[in-house]
Structure 1
Amino acid sequence: MSGAAPERKTTDADEFATYVASLAGELSRLARGHGFPTLAYLLDMARLEARAAVPKPQGRSDRAIRADAIQE
């Protein structure tokens, strides 16, 4: 037994939350760029909530996860 945690399967809810996080991030950047700081803040809160709903994969650092999020 290697001691490694079993790989967690992605669910539809995880995929949905990841999509919402990505979309909310894009909308936040657009809102901020067009002079809507309060809307941008609320969208950032939605993005953080959605990202928190998806468990981090085992064996990946926060830095690797952030790099993936930037490329989405």
Structure 2
Amino acid sequence: MRLRFGPYAGSSTEVLLLRAPDYAAWTMSHNPNGRLARAFAALAAAFDARAIRAPCTCGAPAAEARAYRNSTELILLW
């Protein structure tokens, strides 16, 4: 889904959930039954359900990943 309004017009919900999670959280808390909030919630659930397939930098299987705002890198932890 792409936004057609506001400062994020043209951005996809997938990109916004990863790069502007505060906006996604705000949207879900202020209008939880809205179309955009439901799209963010469905994406968050799909991301959370996906298994981590990359190994940790220590060589052990990763058990957790962290993503930081304005970064495309994941930090994998064991």
Task: Give the TM-score, by structure 1 length.
Answer: 0.39
Structure with the larger helix share: 1
